[in-house]
Amino acid sequence: MKRILLVAALGAISLSACAESPAPASGAAPAVVAAPSGPSVTAEPGSAEARALEAIATLNPNIKVDHIGEAPMPGFRELIVGGQVVYVSDDGRYMFLAGAGGALYDAHAEKNLSEAALGRMRNELLATIPEGERIVFAPENPDHTVTVFTDVECGYCRKMHSEIEQYNAQGIAVEYLAFPRMGMGSEDFTKMISVWCADDRKAALTQAKTTGKVTPKDCKNTVAMQYSIGQRAGLTGTPMIIAEDGTQLGGYVPPAALREALDKLAANREPAEVGA
């Protein structure tokens, strides 16, 4: 259970073949799904192979490793797990998940180093969007704030917004940014411009998400800018939830689960980050 909660809170890079649920978070701990039962490879105790197997076991003790051998680069072992290639450093500390977007994971620190770098980049990009261009639904004195790239046509975006009061009740402020997934110039794009040009953006966004309709309106707006930043931030689907430290928390996450994830992120944040 602790491993499941860690993955839910700090992110998951799945090694399974498919995932039909909303996009998972992509923070610290890769989620390794156990392969079908059967004999797993073994290694001599104390060897680089043994340390590699121990590192994989920290993610999922029931995992079946189908192959282990020398990697094409020095200082690493090559493992095949569930049809995916994983490279583990000979000291068992670092894991490179070649089939998961190139994630580099520090097993000792339980930290996705790739996500940490991406998080810093996302925050730099988000800082270029003026505060006044965000559509904010917030409780009084929120404990956490998330940025959410949203789309008025997206089913999971609508589901998330239908629960906005529950997110606020969990102490979470939601700052919406526009990401019309059908692209610039589409009907979707035009609807989102109408929302951002409305006199009451919050009401217009709620109407668009609940009825699919919005009063047509045009003005000088930043929807195209927000869409471009979403692309540069690595957005592949909506909604995209980003924590205050830049960690991507995946697609739709239920209110209580999101609160738990944010609490765990805050608890695991480095002291220097907290004081920043």
Of 94, 112, 130, the one marking the end of a domain is 112
Are 105 and 127 contained in the same domain? no
Distance CA 14, CA 27 (A): 12
Average pLDDT (37-45) is 70
Overall number of domains in the chain: 2
Model confidence over 83-126: pLDDT tens digits? 888 999 999 999 988 765 678 888 887 778 887 888 899 999 99
- 20-24, 56-60, 75-79: which range is least confident on average? 20-24
State the average pLDDT for the chain. Answer: 83
pLDDT band for position 10 (cuts 50, 70, 90):
very low
Q: Which residue has the higher pLDDT, 133 or 57?
A: 133
Distance CA 238, CA 250 (A): 9
Q: Which of the given ranges, 19-33, 44-58, 141-155, has the highest pLDDT on average?
A: 141-155
Are 101 and 136 contained in the same domain? no
Does the active-site annotation cover 154?
yes
Are 126 and 57 contained in the same domain? no
Are 200 and 249 contained in the same domain? yes
Q: Given the residues 77, 122, 134, 154, select the one marked as catalytic.
A: 154
Are 130 and 73 contained in the same domain? no
CB atoms within 10 A of CB 66: 15
Of 81, 112, 143, the one marking the end of a domain is 112
Q: CATH code at 27?
A: 3.10.450.70
Does the active-site annotation cover 157?
yes
Q: Given the residues 157, 188, 197, 259, select the one marked as catalytic.
A: 157
pLDDT band for position 152 (cuts 50, 70, 90):
very high
Model confidence over 122-147: pLDDT tens digits? 999 999 999 999 999 999 999 999 99
Cα-Cα-Cα-Cα dihedral of 4, 5, 10, 11, to 10°? 30
What is the residue range of 84's domain?
2-112
Average pLDDT (158-170) is 98
Q: What is each CA distance from 228 to 43, 116, 129, 205, in whole angstroms?
A: 48, 21, 11, 20
Q: Given the residues 51, 77, 151, 259, select the one marked as catalytic.
A: 151
> Is residue 22 over pLDDT 60?
no
pLDDT at 15: 32
pTM exceeds 0.75 for this model: no
Does the active-site annotation cover 3?
no
Q: Which residue has the higher pLDDT, 8 or 73?
A: 73
Tokens 């739709």 appear where? Answer: 252
Q: Amino acid identity of 86? A: V
Average pLDDT (62-87) is 89
Q: Given the residues 51, 77, 122, 181, select the one marked as catalytic.
A: 181
Sheet holding 172-178, edge to edge: 135-137, 172-178, 144-150, 240-242
Of 112, 133, 160, the one marking the end of a domain is 112
